[in-house]
């Protein structure tokens, strides 16, 4: 009986481990992020929905071989008064990856983020009070879910 239980729990454990391996987050699970960040994430989601198409460059791979490290770059150097640059991964449990408040720096941010699975990635740029976005689909071949 004990052996049976052990096997069961081991199987369940490993399935979950693969699911969250590359940082895939599901809303039903306990949030690792603070409530504060969650609120920011929701706000970013809301502004992403209503944002028009931006005139900046957003560079992300079409196919990411490794979901744990997906490099992406926002280049809005030509836009004036960029105050915020955010990366929003639609399929992640906490969609907002990072939000950079810029004051004085040029509208250029490059970073690497984790993605659980194939998803649209929105780059949000706020300049002069207006938020615009450019989205691109990034296919993750080795995601958190084993393909």
* Cβ atoms 16, 144 nearer than 8 A: no
State which residue, 53 or 66, has the beta carbon closest to other proteins.
Answer: 66
What minimum distance in Å lies between the beta carbon of 93 and other proteins?
8
State which residue, 24 or 60, has the beta carbon closest to other proteins.
Answer: 24
Rounded Cα distance between 121 and 133, Å, is: 10
Cα-Cα-Cα-Cα dihedral sign, residues 128, 131, 42, 107 = negative
For residue 68, the number of C-alpha atoms closer than 13 Å in the C-beta half-sphere is 8
What minimum distance in Å lies between the beta carbon of 6 and other proteins?
10
Q: Which residues bind other proteins (CB under 8 A)?
A: 9-10, 13, 16-17, 20-21, 23-25, 29-30, 32-34, 37, 40-41, 68-70, 73, 77, 89, 92, 94, 96-106, 108-115
State which residue, 25 or 60, has the beta carbon closest to other proteins.
Answer: 25
């Amino acid at each position: 009986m004990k052996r049976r239980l052990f096997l069961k729990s081991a199987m369940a454990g490993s399935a979950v481990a693969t699911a969250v391996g590359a940082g895939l987050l599901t809303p039903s699970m306990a949030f690792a992020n603070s409530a504060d960040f969650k609120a920011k994430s929701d706000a970013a989601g809301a502004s992403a929905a209503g944002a028009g198409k931006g005139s900046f460059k957003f560079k992300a791979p079409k196919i990411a071989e490794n979901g744990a490290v997906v490099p992406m770059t926002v280049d809005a150097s030509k836009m004036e008064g960029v105050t915020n640059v955010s990366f929003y991964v639609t399929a992640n449990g906490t969609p907002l990856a990072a939000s950079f408040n810029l004051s004085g720096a040029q509208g250029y941010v490059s970073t690497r983020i984790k993605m659980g699975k194939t998803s649209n990635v929105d780059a949000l740029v706020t300049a002069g009070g207006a938020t615009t976005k450019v989205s691109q689909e990034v296919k993750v071949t080795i995601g958190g879910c084993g393909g």
